[in-house]
Amino acid sequence: MGKAKFTFIDLFSGIGGFRKALENNGGECLHFSEISTDAVTAYCANSNEPIEKNLGDITKIKELPKHNILTAGVPCQSWSIAGRNLGFDDDRGQLWNDTIFLLNQSKPDAFIFENVKGLVDPRNKKALSYILERIKEAGYFANYYVLNSFDYGVPQNRIRIYIVGFKNKEFADKFKIPKPLEKKIKLADILSDFNEKIIESENEMPRDLFGQIITQKSMSLSTSNGLNDYFLFNDLRNGHSTIHSWDILETTERQKKICYLLLKNRRKSAYGDLDGNPLSLEHFQGLDKTITEKELEELVGLKILKKEHYTFNIDKSKIGALTEEENVLLGLCENDFLIMDKLKMNRELKVKKISISKTITPLIQQGILISNEERYDFKNTKISTGLYGVNRVFLPTSNIFPTLVASDTNDFVTTKIIYAKNEEDHKKQFIDKVYKKENYRRITKEEACMIQGFPKDYILPENRARWMKLVGNSVSLPVIEMLGKAILDTGVFENKTKIKFGMPKILNMTTLEIKSQMMEMSAVKNASR
């Protein structure tokens, strides 16, 4: 690399997303700060940087050397805005405050801070306002931008907040975020074992019986036309690309009908106050009088449904020594009567993190709680976990893969393309060609790197949990590269200008200052004539 256009310091550096992006814009990294051993190892290995350049724990950094840009991917920790008026030296120990302390101390020309999109949620309005106010107090003109990585060169739905600021208002006013790229990168572009051709021209597109083109619908779109390019595994929602447990397991049409009956009615307020409510045998028979208890029990045996206690009477004569959690739970009874709905909605139990199932079980065993109503619900009631270890499977025609997270997910990809005639055919082909034949897999380390915009050969640990944590915590490299270029485009670092007429170089002056000095020199020349 030639002479650097600017210098920067990389706080909360992770594996080097900020560094690589700014180096691609001609920047030189002076120091970085990171405490994760795996992240430091990866950072040094990929940047050929000595570990001595690591400043370590940000809370222990007293000052930073002079530099042009300060970057920080501040961790999304929960934090408080207590100590609002204590000043920059007295409210450290919280990572946002530590970051702004160093910004105030080192006074770079510009900065880029990144955080999760939750910071712009209404519930965090005070926190964001506090951060922006502290940045203003440090002498900076800043604004925040909510951007999706997908719009700037990676096939990932990753929405983050970026706060960009300048010491000089002139350059802050010039700063503009470029428009999203028109040509988006698709998932197929980064899949290592994908060799098929994706149909792109209208002449090649499959058509229905009436000659209308059958389109693919990406998860990024909200239109109702077309066929989804991913399949969702859960029993609580419905749609042509939703795979239910009764689609996978061997079930009869009658059993499928009962499952759909529960799916259609469990969210109705007539059956309870929750967003999804179990139904009793009487409720089922009110919807279809031919349904029997035996049929429901068979679905329990298939582990599609589960049976649960719903209401209880209390036998006070059995109450003896109780745990604190049991006392709290029994205190929620009304007229010696307990309803599961009320427990699941109770704030006190949530705040105290009291497990309903673990607390209620011994009370039933002791005969203190006597069940007087049982109901049936789906066994798998947590959407995010999916079914049988699978949450979503993405087709190569998809534009977007879900947000990569540190903890990994149950999201998979397939390299099989499905061109179906209708929604029913789409689902059938997926089950037959992809799911049953196990033609799906997790993304590889190389693909995860590319989904974040890193080179596929980026050096990371071999263990999946370790590299997934590093990649999931990183920034998307192309977004930072775009922001870095936008900062450069303001002219903030163009501080060396040659003046004609034999005048010396004027260093570290703004355009307005140079113009003013030139006018003064011209006036002096005219006066001497």
What are the residue numbers of the active site?
76
Among 337, 348, 474, 345, residue whose Cα is nearest residue 404: 474
CB 408 within 8 A of CB 163: no
CB-based contact 152:399 (threshold 8 Å): no
Long-range contacts of 326-329 (CB under 8 A, 24+ apart): 326/359, 326/362, 326/363, 328/352, 328/354, 329/354, 329/356, 329/359, 329/360, 329/363
Q: Cα–Cα distance between 244 and 259 in angstroms, integer? A: 9
Q: What is the C-alpha to C-alpha distance for residues 406 and 413, in angstroms, rounded to an integer? A: 18
Q: Which strands sit side by side in the sheet containing 305-314, from one edge to the other?
A: 337-339, 305-314, 369-378
Please tell me the distance from the alpha carbon of residue 304 to that of residue 287, in angstroms, as a whole number: 19
| Structure-block tokens of residue 390 | 């699978």
Calpha distance 362→372 (Å, rounded): 17
CA–CA distance, 44 with 459 (Å, rounded to integer) = 10
How long a stretch of residues is the chain? 529
Tell me the C-alpha distance between 366 and 361, whole Å: 9
Question: In terms of DSSP bridges, do strands 392-394 and 230-233 run parallel, antiparallel, or are they unpaired?
Answer: antiparallel
DSSP tally for the chain: helices H, then strands E = 18, 17
Place of tokens 């919807």: 287
Whether residue 163 contacts residue 144, with contact meaning beta carbons closer than 8 Å, is answered with yes
CB atoms within 10 A of CB 426: 22
CA proximity to 452, closest of 114, 145, 216: 114
